[in-house]
Amino acid sequence: MISRIVKELITNNQKFIKNDLSHIYNPLLEKQTPKITLVTCSDSRIAATGLFAPNTINHVFSIRNVGNQIRTSEGSVDFGVLKLRTPVLVILGHTCCSAVRMSLTDFSGDTLGICRELSLLKEGLQTMEKRYKTDEDPIAYERYTEINIDYQVRYAVQRYRELVNAGELTVIGMMVDLNRSFHGATCEEYITNINGTSDINQIKQMDALSEIDNSLIEEVVKTIL
Ligand SMILES: [Zn+2]
């Protein structure tokens, strides 16, 4: 089992380097110039949803942790936004998020590290006004995931307010929907918040979406709150 996993690591890289990549990497040896700082969940199911394919090299500065949180990786998010000055910060959450689910149960018996990260997640959710009954509402946890995204976007807009106010940074909250809570396709991605605005009709009018067809905007700007 383990030797097969290690073999895969090495053979996948060998396939990747088969075509000479020096023409791509040589201009990037001194610095990177990504366009997006991405904060997403560590969840292994989110790795291949196609959001950034095929152009990921020098395009996305990625931060991953449980529950796509800013506060547990603040230095890394600052690095993308303040040092690399990406014009877009994406907070990408997902349905079926075990971190969000766990943060709403008793996690006190877990390791200090897990407790610390889930406590921050829970604390963020508690600052938001909306509440759902997890024993009655079948998609209550998915709604809390969207609330967490709203919280993270709000936190980012506050933290980087000078850049946001100057139009140099746009913070976009998104959900990737594994279990079709939004009634679209499996793994479809939805925009649920831009710069702290979660009103769907207001989002649809925003400049950030001006190059997307209206019919597609109707499909992908959605909320389950
Ligand atoms: Zn997750």
Cα–ligand 1 centroid distance for 64 (angstroms)? 10
Does residue 3 lie in a domain region?
Answer: no
Supply the pLDDT for residue 48.
66
Does residue 107 lie in a domain region?
Answer: yes
String of b and e for 191-221 (b: at least 16 CB within 10 Å)?
Answer: bbbbbbbbebeebeebeebeeeeeeebeebb
> Structural domain tally of the chain?
1
pTM here?
0.95
Does residue 26 lie in a domain region?
Answer: no
Task: For residue 41, give both structure tokens.
Answer: 């969940």
Supply the pLDDT for residue 53.
65
Does residue 130 lie in a domain region?
Answer: yes
Does residue 135 lie in a domain region?
Answer: yes
Supply the pLDDT for residue 56.
75
Domain containing residue 78: CATH number: 3.40.1050.10
Does residue 53 lie in a domain region?
Answer: yes
Cα–ligand 1 centroid distance for 120 (angstroms)? 14
Q: Who surrounds ion ligand 1 at CB < 5 A? A: 41, 43, 97, 99
Supply the pLDDT for residue 105.
94
Cα–ligand 1 centroid distance for 25 (angstroms)? 32
Residue-range definition of the domain harbouring residue 201: 35-220
User: pLDDT truncated to tens, each residue of the chain (225 aa)?
Assistant: 999 999 999 999 999 899 899 999 999 999 999 999 999 999 999 876 677 666 678 999 999 999 999 999 999 999 999 999 999 999 999 999 999 999 999 999 999 999 999 999 999 999 988 889 988 999 999 999 999 999 999 999 999 999 999 999 999 999 999 999 999 999 999 999 999 999 999 999 999 999 999 999 999 999 999
Longest dimension (CA), the chain: 56
Does residue 110 lie in a domain region?
Answer: yes
Supply the pLDDT for residue 129.
84
Residues linked to residue 191 through DSSP beta bridges, in sequence order: 174, 221
Does residue 124 lie in a domain region?
Answer: yes
